[in-house]
Amino acid sequence: MKAPTLLALALPALAALLPAQTPNHLVGITRNMPLLRHQSHPTCSVLAQCALPMPNSAALPPFVGGTAWNAKRSGAWVTNGVLIAQFDDNCAPMCPPAPIPTLGPNAFITGLELVESLDQLWMIDSQGRLHFYNNTCPPTPIGVCGTGLVQTAIGNVTTGLAVDERNGLVFISYPTFPGGLNRIAVSQLAAPCTIVSTFQAPPCIGGIAAPPFLGLACDWGSEILYATDGATTVGMNYNWVAPNVIITGQTCCPAIAVAEPMIGLAIRPGRATSVGASCANGPCLPCPQVHTLRNDPNLGNAQFTLGLDQAPAMAFSWCLIGNGPCAAPGVTIAPFCGPLFTLPFLGSLGPQITGGVGPCDGTASFSLPLPPAPGLAGQVFSSQCMTLCFGGGVFGTALSNCLSWELQGN
């Protein structure tokens, strides 16, 4: 079967939105060590953190730094204001620290964002210039434009950047240092340097104004704009009523780690959940047959890929796609060796040849480009890999675990 686009798979029957994976969470670089911190906003807790092998920004102005999540490689782009790098969840380098091209003298990067539908890394600097780069290692420049959000004598400066691909919006935080209004400027994705409106972020606790925001992140699938002042986080529900953003609700987390403030913010997508175990029959060896996602199911990720590893070598393999989460206990249908969990069945990707030379070192990757279709945010799918083996004039099958995963807009 020819590899379908996700939109083509989704049209036959859209299922109810069921939980499919671990929740997404906030992630950001911190100022002093620095750390990469994973943080849950709903529970107001630190999930994990690790030390980043790059210089800190302790000697730089307090408004520098930024974080963006790269769904294509499942890693965090981070900047300390003058260097850019990419790391995985455990702070292992994916793209080593390097100077930021096109950054002018006396300027610092103050916010990062990854725009999936364009596969571009965007940066805002302290002089109000928006920089566009290809999402490569290292990032390669595309262009620069001025937003007019210049650093002022009274302390106004840009501090964070986030994009809503559902409504086509760009958010740039523009507070007053050392304390004052947390203003957020809004432009449109088609003309990101033309500010169309601004709004003031409401105070959180007891009407007390928060310190200046240092980072922004947008869950546009749920229309929530997150911000951090380094120690606290706030989630602002919003509606877009052109040309204005209307705040409709708010959740606030108290200070978590004041001594090590976050200076950037992004949303780390939730991870797929697994159901079932592998099986094999006939001439298929009982290999682990491990099915994983190679990267993140973010809408607009044209390189979203499903993977199969530790499979029978030199065999035909397919990835079965189901509408909704993995359906336990599944249904066993001859000649399959075990239950199928991808029901109702939508289609398959493949076949691919697993390759390999050893008995269980076969591997395959299945491409499933995700369209930048906002209406699919929150849609749940399942996937399970099947291998067909031949030997001695007969054939057998092997099945992997099943994964449930959710399309995300963040």
pLDDT of residue 258: 60
CA distance 328 to 325: 9
Domains assigned to the chain? 6-15+271-406 (2.60.40), 25-268 (2.120.10.30)
Residues of the chain with pLDDT under 70: 1-20, 205-210, 257-258
Is 289 in contact with 311 (CB distance < 8 Å)? yes
**CA-wise closest residue to 284 among 122, 399, 371, 148:** 399
| Cα–Cα distance, 389 to 280 (Å, whole number) | 10
- How far is residue 327's CA from residue 402's CA, in Å, rounded to a whole number? 9
**Structure-token match 């974080």, residue found:** 67
Taking the C-alpha atoms of residue 78 and residue 264, their distance in angstroms, rounded to an integer, is 8
pLDDT on residue 12:
36
- Strand, helix or coil for residue 354: coil
Q: Which residue type occupies 162?
A: A
pLDDT in tens, 13-65: 333 333 567 889 999 999 999 999 999 999 999 999 999 999 999 999 999 99
The pLDDT value given to residue 287? 97
Given this model, what pLDDT does residue 209 score? 54
Residue listed under structure tokens 């675990």:
401
pLDDT confidence of residue 207? 54
Question: DSSP letter string over 70-130?
Answer: ETTTTEEEEESSSEEEEE-TT--EEEEEEE-TTPPTT--EEEEEEETTTTEEEEEETTSEE
As given in the structure block, the two tokens for residue 369 are: 């480009």
Pull the structure tokens for residue 247.
């705040």
Q: For residue 330, is it left (φ>0), alpha (ψ between -120 and 50) or beta? A: left
Instruction: Tell me whether residue 135 is exposed, middle or buried, using C-beta atoms within 10 angstroms of its C-beta: 0 to 12, 13 to 18, 19 or more.
Output: buried
Token pair belonging to 327: 């359906």
Confidence at residue 203, expressed as pLDDT on a 0 to 100 scale? 85
Query: Chain-wide mean pLDDT for the chain?
Result: 92
